[in-house]
C-alpha cells in the first residue's frame, strides 16, 4: 500500500510531496520546515472545525483538551507510523533507527504533508481546506465520535500541558507553591507554573486544583 493510499489523497504536484518528506538535516532544498509551519496552523483549524461539528454539546474546555491531545507529538507520531513515513535524511543516518530517533521530525513531517495537501489542491483550483479536512476527518472522526464528554471534562489539564510543551520543544512545566493562607480547615493554595517563557498563577482550595487551574491558564500561550 502506498503512502498516498494510506493518507487518502493523491498528489498531482509530486514535488510538494517530496518536499514534505525532506528533513532539514538532509541538506536538500527546499526542505519541509516552511510546510510544517503552515501545516501546524491548518491542522489546528481543521481539527477545531471537525470537533465543533462532531461534538455540538461539548463546552469549550472539553473541546480544547481533546484538540490538544490530537495535535500532540504522540498523536502525530502515531499517524506517521501508520503512514510508514520515510524521510529524506543525511546519508550517515541509519534508517533502522529513524522511527525512534526521529520521533518529532516524523510528527513534523505529518504537518508538512497536511500543508502540502492544502497547497496541491488549491493550485488546481480546488478548495484546499476541504481536501485537508477530508483527510483529517478520515484519520480522527471515529476517535472523536467515541470520545466521552465526561472523560474529557475531567481529564487532567496538567497532562495536556505536559504533552503540549513536549510537542513545542519546551521544558516540562514547573509548578511552585507560592503561598498557603487561610485557616487549617479551609486553606487556599497559590501556585505558579512556568513553561519556557510562559507563566501563570492561580489559587484554589487544594494544591492539586491550584496546579490544574494554573495549567489551564497557561495553556493558551502554547497554541
Q: pLDDT tens for residues 8-57?
A: 999 999 999 999 999 988 889 999 999 999 999 999 999 999 999 999 98
Q: Is residue 67, in this structure, part of any structural domain at all?
A: yes
Q: Is residue 27, in this structure, part of any structural domain at all?
A: yes
Q: In this structure, what DSSP letter does residue 88 have?
A: B
Confidence band for 91, pLDDT divided at 50, 70 and 90: low
Given 31, 36, 40, 120, the catalytic residue: 40
- Residue 126 and residue 48 in contact, taking contact as beta carbons nearer than 8 Å: no
Radius of gyration of the chain from its Cα atoms, rounded to whole angstroms: 20
- Please indicate, yes or no, whether residues 142 and 172 belong to a single structural domain of this protein: no
- Residue 18 and residue 91 in contact, taking contact as beta carbons nearer than 8 Å: no
47-70 pLDDT per residue, tens: 999 999 999 988 887 888 889 889
Q: Which domain holds residue 189?
A: 168-222
| Among 15, 10, 40, CA closest to 28 | 15
The most distant pair of C-alpha atoms in the chain lies apart, rounded to whole Å, by 68
- Residue 50 and residue 141 in contact, taking contact as beta carbons nearer than 8 Å: yes
179-222 pLDDT per residue, tens: 998 888 888 999 999 999 999 999 988 888 899 899 989 988 88
Whether 223 is a known active-site residue: answer no
Confidence band for 150, pLDDT divided at 50, 70 and 90: low
Q: Is the dihedral of CA 117, 119, 120, 124 positive or negative?
A: positive
Cα distance between residue 55 and residue 62, in whole Å? 10
- Please indicate, yes or no, whether residues 18 and 78 belong to a single structural domain of this protein: yes
Given 36, 108, 111, 213, the catalytic residue: 111
- Please indicate, yes or no, whether residues 190 and 133 belong to a single structural domain of this protein: no
Q: Is residue 162, in this structure, part of any structural domain at all?
A: no
Q: Is residue 163, in this structure, part of any structural domain at all?
A: no
Q: Quote the pLDDT of residue 26.
A: 86
pTM of the model: 0.67
Q: Which is it for strands 174-181 and 188-195: parallel, antiparallel or unpaired?
A: antiparallel
- Please indicate, yes or no, whether residues 88 and 179 belong to a single structural domain of this protein: no
The structural domain count of the chain equals 2
Q: Is residue 159, in this structure, part of any structural domain at all?
A: no
| Among 34, 47, 44, 5, CA closest to 109 | 34
Q: Quote the pLDDT of residue 14.
A: 95
Q: Is residue 158, in this structure, part of any structural domain at all?
A: no
Domain boundary among 106, 128, 153: 153
Confidence band for 97, pLDDT divided at 50, 70 and 90: very low
Domain boundary among 92, 121, 153: 153
Q: Quote the pLDDT of residue 151.
A: 55
- Please indicate, yes or no, whether residues 141 and 172 belong to a single structural domain of this protein: no
Q: How far is CA 198 from CA 91, 161, 163, 211, in A?
A: 38, 12, 15, 15
- Please indicate, yes or no, whether residues 118 and 176 belong to a single structural domain of this protein: no
Whether 40 is a known active-site residue: answer yes
Domain boundary among 97, 119, 153: 153
DSSP string, 104-153: HHHHHHHHHHHHHHHHHHHHTTS-HHHHHHHHHHHHHHHHHHH--HHHHH
CATH number of the domain within which 33 lies: 1.10.1520.10
Amino acid at each position: 500500500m502506498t503512502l498516498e493510499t494510506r493518507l487518502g489523497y493523491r498528489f498531482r504536484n509530486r514535488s510538494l510531496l517530496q518536499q514534505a518528506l525532506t528533513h532539514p538535516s538532509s541538506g536538500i532544498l527546499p526542505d519541509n520546515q516552511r510546510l510544517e509551519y503552515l501545516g501546524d496552523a491548518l491542522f489546528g483549524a481543521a481539527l477545531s472545525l471537525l470537533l465543533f461539528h462532531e461534538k455540538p454539546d461539548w463546552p469549550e474546555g472539553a473541546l480544547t483538551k481533546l484538540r490538544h491531545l490530537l495535535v500532540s507529538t504522540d498523536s502525530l507520531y502515531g499517524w506517521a507510523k501508520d503512514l510508514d513515513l520515510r524521510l529524506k535524511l543525511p546519508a550517515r543516518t541509519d534508517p533502522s533507527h529513524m522511527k525512534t530517533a526521529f520521533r518529532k521530525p516524523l510528527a513534523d513531517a505529518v504537518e508538512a504533508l497536511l500543508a502540502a495537501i492544502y497547497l496541491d489542491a488549491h493550485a488546481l483550483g480546488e478548495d484546499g481546506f476541504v481536501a485537508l479536512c477530508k483527510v483529517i476527518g478520515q484519520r480522527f472522526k471515529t476517535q472523536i465520535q467515541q470520545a466521552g464528554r465526561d472523560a474529557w471534562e475531567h481529564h487532567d489539564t496538567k497532562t495536556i500541558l505536559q504533552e503540549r510543551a513536549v510537542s513545542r520543544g519546551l521544558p516540562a512545566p514547573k509548578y511552585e507553591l507560592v503561598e498557603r493562607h487561610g485557616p487549617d480547615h479551609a486553606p487556599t493554595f497559590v501556585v505558579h507554573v512556568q513553561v519556557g517563557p510562559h507563566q501563570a498563577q492561580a489559587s484554589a482550595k487544594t494544591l492539586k486544583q491550584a496546579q490544574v487551574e494554573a495549567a489551564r491558564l497557561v495553556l493558551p500561550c502554547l497554541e
